[in-house]
Amino acid sequence: MSIEQLEEIALAMVAEGKGIIAIDESNSTIKKRFDAVGIECTEETRRAYRELLLTTPNLSDHISGAILFDETIRQSTKSGVPFTKVMLDNGILPGIKVDKGPQPLAGYPGEVVTEGLDGLRDRLNEYARLGAKFAKWRAVIAIGDDMPSSTCIDANCHALARYAALCQEAGIVPMVEPEVLMDGSHDIDTCFDVTEATLRALFATLYEHNVWLEGTILKASMVLPGKDCADKASVEDVAMATVRCLRATVPATLPGIVFLSGGQSDLDATQHLNEMNQMGPHPWPLSFSYGRAMQSAALKLWSQDIVGNVAAAQKIVAMRARENGMAALGRWSPDLAG
C-alpha cells in the first residue's frame, strides 16, 4: 500500500460526522461485561454480540470503522459471511487491536508498559490479509504519588512508535492511544500537565522513528479530573482544557483525533465532544472512538433476550452513533437522546 493510500484511510476514519466504534475487548474483559448483565460468555455469544453491532442498519451513517479483537476479525455472521466483508461492503473500515496489554514496569512499582512488539510484523501482515485497514495500540499512563515517571512515559511512547512504524510498513494505519487514566483523586490541572508531557514525548518519538504523521490517527484521552477528585469540572472546563492541551502538542499535519470515553458516562462523553467541536474550527477533526459509551445500553437490553431483542438493541447502537456523530460536528443537543 502506498503512502497516499494510508492518508486516504486515515482521512476516511475521521470523515465529517463519523467516528470509530471500539469492540476490541479481550475475552476476559468481555466476560466481565457479560457477567454483569447475566450473559454466559462463550465463543458463540461473543460472535452473536459482535454480529449485532456490526450489522446494525445504517451504522455507516455515523461510523467509519470498528476496532476488532483477534477472535472477531476471524469470525463470520451466522450465515457465514466474514465480518470484514460485511464491514467493507457497508463502508466500514475494519481495524484490529494488536497490543498484548500492560505489564508491570520493572523498577517502577505501580507503573506499566504495554507489550506485544515480539512477532508484531508477522501478525500485522496476517491482519492485512484478513482485511484490516488500521490498527490500535493502547498505552496506559497512571497518575499518583510520583507517577508517572519519565521512564514510564518514554517506555510507552517508544513502544507506540515502534508499533506505528511496523503498521505503516504493513500498509496499515496506526492508531496510537496513550491513555491517561481517570483513576485517582488528582485535579484537572494535574491531568493537563501529565497529558501534555505524554503527548509531547509521543510525537517526538514518532518523529524519531520516521512515522508518517499524515498516515496516523491519535486516540486521546480527555483532560479530566480523577474520578475521586472532590473538585468536579464542568463540561466547558473539560473541553477548554482538552483543546488547549491538544493545540499545544499535536502537529497540524495529523489527519485527525478520536477520543476514548475512558470510564465517562455515555452522556458526558458525548457532551464533552460536542463542546470541543463548538469551540472550533481546529487544526484537525475531533471525533470519537468509544467502546462502553457506544455499547452499554444496547448490551443491557440485549441481555434480557439475546434472540428477541436484537433489533431493539441495534436501534440503541444506531442512536448512540448518531448522537456522537452529531457531537463530532458540534451539533448535538439533548433532543437527540432517545
Residue matched to cell numbers 494505519: 173
In whole angstroms, give the CA distance from residue 105 to residue 89.
42
Query: ∠ at Cα 252 (98, 234), nearest 5°?
Result: 80
Assess whether 315 carries a catalytic annotation. no
Identified catalytic residue from 51, 177, 179, 275: 177
Q: Distances in Å between the alpha carbon of 129 and those of 122, 123, 157?
A: 11, 10, 27
Contact between 67 and 20 under an 8 Å Cβ cutoff? The reply is yes
Assess whether 32 carries a catalytic annotation. no
State the CB neighbour count (10 A cutoff) for residue 35.
11
Residue type, 296: S
In whole angstroms, give the CA distance from residue 59 to residue 322.
9
In whole angstroms, give the CA distance from residue 121 to residue 126.
9
Cell numbers that stand for 160 in this block: 507506540
Residue matched to cell numbers 470519537: 288
In whole angstroms, give the CA distance from residue 271 to residue 259.
12
Cell numbers that stand for 299 in this block: 448490551
- Helical H segments across the chain, by residue range: 3-13, 27-37, 43-54, 70-73, 83-89, 120-130, 150-169, 188-208, 235-249, 266-278, 292-304, 310-327
Residue type, 317: V
Identified catalytic residue from 136, 219, 275, 323: 219
Contact between 67 and 94 under an 8 Å Cβ cutoff? The reply is no
Which residues are designated catalytic? 177, 219
